[in-house]
A = this chain, B = another copy of it.
Amino acid sequence: MAVGLSAELPPLLAVNGVRWGVAEAAIKRPGRKDVALMEICEGATTAAVYTRNAFCAAPVHIARRHGAASAPRYLLINSGNANAGTGEPGMLAAEQSCRAVAAVTGCDAGAVLPFSTGVIGVVLPVAKIEAALPQAVAALDVEGWHAAAHAIMTTDTVPKGISRQVMVAGRAVTITGIAKGSGMIRPDMATMLAYVATDAAVPRDLLQGLLSASADRSFNAVTVDGDTSTNDACVLVATGKSGVRFDSVDAEGYAGFAQAVLEVCQYLAQAMIRDGEGATKFITIDVRGGVSEDECRQVAYTVAHSPLVKTALFASDPNWGRILAAVGRAGVVSMDVSKIDIYLGDVQIVHAGGCDSAYTEAAGQAVMNQAEITIRIELGRGDAVAQVWTCDFSYDYVKINAEYRT
């Protein structure tokens, strides 16, 4: 069960200029809609960030190439097959899926970005997608966000989506996003995919900068298991249909708009962690007082990836020695442990590198019993900060990942 997430989506606001249609292609098995098509109006700008995994999947190669060459008009997403590790046949299948969208909609194949999530190592069954596409096109609707949020799910236990509105010079600007992912990666049946759209007008370079900066503080700041998918992708579309235009970071209302985009990305990224494989707790690792943000991240990720810290969190065990040991091995150059303070929620557990004299096991236990826990680490070296979100490590994580294919 997802930590602090409802099984129902919140209301998702339509974004003028964007329509979604879904269809059943029965890629893995029949019985559910597993193809989603996003139609983007002419004149919109689109930004995207992709996995940094060297073994990135065929659709990632094609989406990156198409997105660089022309303005995307359609995003084609399938669940049930990742089309990763599939070599040249996988590339041909991904290209063919774009041509199929072009044939049904009349756009150029280069204006289609393909995305796949599901089993690795099996070439995309493109004929099934071709057969389902007319149904998806017929279903295109500005209210299609809910259906799309469901269609892109794999083993997610709940759909994930959110909307925000900001007012700019008396006009409403809407931002809506959906995502899927139940871990940073599950090469069988996972991948993080996120689609965010706004009706503001934003030039492409500015939009890409906004997405990259937002992703660094959201999708790139969460981890379930430290593994990075071969298929991860996040797309931000700006249709301009609200009549509000931002031409630079100094434009009126841009700061509030950028903050709302960041909040949408953070909500979606955190929703994936809340729905992380086997997760029973939602953990914020908040590192402060570093010399650089990179250094703070390094400490945060070392704690967030420690199987010993994660199993202690699962057990609600205030085993602060494990946190301390993880901080100590994070590889920070010339770390002075005598300057380090660590807090579990509001309870100080480490003071000046040793156990705080006022700390009691009962106080630590009270924090550990909660479903949402913040671990704050003060390095005492500088002014930089970083946050990382993660979940605990439970029997169900092993069960899900050990038994998935059987």
Residues of chain A at the chain B interface (Cβ within 8 Å): 52-56, 84-88, 120-121, 185-188, 225-230, 305-308, 311-312, 314-315, 317, 319-322, 324-330, 332, 335, 337, 350, 353-355, 393-395, 397-399, 401-406
A53-B317 contact given A398-B398, A401-B311, CB 8 Å threshold = no
A327 contacts B401, CB within 8 Å?
no
- Is the CB–CB distance between B187 and A322 below 8 Å? yes
Query: Are A52 and B329 touching (Cβ within 8 A)?
Result: yes
Interface centre among A329, A332, A355, A393 (most CB of B within 10 A): A329
Contact of A325 among B229, B305, B308, B394 (CB under 8 A): B229
Number of copies: 2
In angstroms, Cα B337 to Cα A84, docked, is: 13
A317, B405: Cβ atoms closer than 8 Å = yes
Q: Is the CB of A226 within 8 A of B402?
A: no
Q: Is the CB of B228 within 8 A of A329?
A: yes
Bound complex: CA A227 to CA B230 (Å): 26
CB-based contact B329/A53 at 8 Å: yes
Query: Shortest 4 CB-CB distances between A and B: which pairs?
Result: A55-B328, A120-B321, A87-B354, A315-B402
Give the residue of B187, B230, B305, B327 whose beta carbon is less than 8 angstroms from that of A226.
B305
Once the chains are docked, how many angstroms separate the CA of A152 from the CA of B394? 30
Asked if B186 and A230 make an inter-chain contact with CB atoms under 8 angstroms apart, the answer reads no
Q: Within the assembled complex, what's the spacing in Å between the Cα atoms of A55 and B393? A: 24
Contacts of A120 in B (CB 8 A): 321, 324-325
Given contacts A87-B354, A308-B186, A332-B54, contact A227 B326 (CB under 8 A): yes
- Per the bound structure, the CA–CA distance linking A240 and B51 in Å amounts to 57
B402 A307 Cβ-Cβ under 8 A: no
User: Shortest Cβ distance from A379 into chain B, in angstroms?
Assistant: 11
Partner of A319, one of B86, B188, B332: B188
Extra pairs beyond A84-B325, A312-B401, A393-B398 (20, CB < 8 Å): A53-B329, A54-B328, A54-B330, A55-B327, A84-B321, A85-B324, A85-B354, A87-B353, A87-B354, A88-B354, A187-B319, A225-B307, A226-B306, A227-B326, A230-B328, A307-B307, A307-B393, A315-B401, A317-B405, A395-B399
Decide: A401 near B325, CB < 8 A? Known: A85-B354, A337-B54: no
Asked if B314 and A56 make an inter-chain contact with CB atoms under 8 angstroms apart, the answer reads no
B307 touches A401 (CB 8 A): yes
